[in-house]
Amino acid sequence: MSAKNPSLLGGALIIAGTIIGAGMFANPTATSGVWFIGSLVVLFYTWFSMLSSGLMLLEVNTHYPHGASFDTMVKDLLGRGWNAVNGIAVTFVLYLLTYAYIFVGGDLTAKGLGNLAGGTVGLPVGQLVFFAVLAFCVWASTYLVDRLTSVLIGGMVIAFFWATGGLLTNVQLPVLLDTQVTAGTQYWIYVAAALPVCLASFGFHGNVSSLLKYFNGDAPKVARALRLGTLIALMIYTLWQLAIQGNLPRNKFAPVIEAGGQVSVLIETLSKFVPTGSMNTVLSFFAYMAIASSFLGVTLGLFDYLADLFKWDDSAAGRTKTAALTFLPPLICCLLFPTGFVTVIGYVGLAATVWTALIPAMLLYKARKKFSENKGYRVYGGMWLIVWVFAFGVINIAAQILSQLEVVPVFKG
């Protein structure tokens, strides 16, 4: 159920769409302590490390049949114990993100339908409409996800530049470089708060096996899609940092931080320093398309993981069983407990670090020993890259734990 000749751009847009989700709006707030130069360093460090770990998964994946995902690879190379740990981490993150996207996307859908109908549409109706359309695309084929994601990404790019065009042309270097601060102002002491959020903003690893299957085992083409997709996301993130931190002074970030990076509060605070016009409305469109594209990418990864876990085939019956297990639990939880994810969302980054950094490094180390004679696709770097990515995971776990325990300094604006 895939295209005969899937396009490189389509694969890249699936990756970019998965990455650029609602987490984008948390980046300027999470990096306000380290500010613009520091945020670029953290973003580039995270981008390189997450891209590398994704390419590691790709290399390992080439040693297994098309459709094999984490369950097959981890069980074979690391054993049942690590497979259980990884399985819990993968399903926790992907189910919770699906749950959160149904809630947020359903809320925006309900408001949009209400405006069209000239009345009020209930949240459950919005959630069901949002869910039904996008879940059908994932069930139908990766190709349909590719096509719809391309449309959503195109709309996101237009909305992004429409919303931020005025901000980008009004960037003030003294604000961007924070030149008006008092002597002794510190930035890097706040890096621990920035790292976990940026890691969560570059998650795409659940889609690696999906793309390898979609591209009929063409690993070099998948690698190019991963590079292009993550670079698109990095460019959008960098421009967004430039637009926000080039107009809103660092010492005026307190209201935004107190509101947890809420978009409406961010725009309201920004409007005191630069005209924002229709930015709120346009960013609502951007957020909706970002949430929809992320929902498609996240659930595609979860879909293929569950298909591999239960060894369900790609027939209509097999895909229906996989779709039921992929979509019904988060939908039911969302309808019954619409805000329950708030209590556990803080642990997403911690769990994601396990299967986006630690496990890929361990898998590649074991795979290169077991498949030493294989001359197929190999990710750049040798042992140094494995150590780099594993250390990246350890650093992020430490940063998240220390931040949650409030052991490290927290920037308040």
The string of DSSP codes covering 328-377 is: HHHHHHHHHSTTGGGGTGGGHHHHHHIIIIIHHHHHHHHHHHHTTT--S-
pLDDT of residue 2: 45
Q: Which domains does the chain have, with CATH numbers?
A: 8-405 (1.20.1740.10)
Q: Tokens for 271?
A: 């409007």
pLDDT of residue 343: 56
pLDDT of residue 374: 75
Which of 159, 164, 98 minimizes the C-alpha distance to 130? 98
**What pLDDT band is residue 342 in, cutting at 50, 70 and 90?**
low
pTM of the model: 0.89
Q: CB atoms < 10 A from the CB of 153, how many?
A: 24
CA distance 357 to 46: 11
Average pLDDT over residues 188-216: 91
CA distance 159 to 286: 6
State the Rg of the chain over Cα: 21
Alpha helices in 141-200 (DSSP H): 142-169, 173-176, 191-200
Average pLDDT over residues 186-201: 90
Average pLDDT over residues 398-409: 88
Q: What whole-number percentage of the chain has pLDDT above 70?
A: 96
Average pLDDT over residues 269-281: 82
405 CB burial (10 A radius; 0-12, 13-18, 19+): exposed
Q: CB atoms < 10 A from the CB of 316, how many?
A: 11
pLDDT of residue 193: 86
pLDDT in tens, 62-98: 999 988 889 999 999 999 999 999 999 999 999 988 9
Bigger pLDDT: 269 vs 280:
269
Q: CB atoms < 10 A from the CB of 275, how many?
A: 10
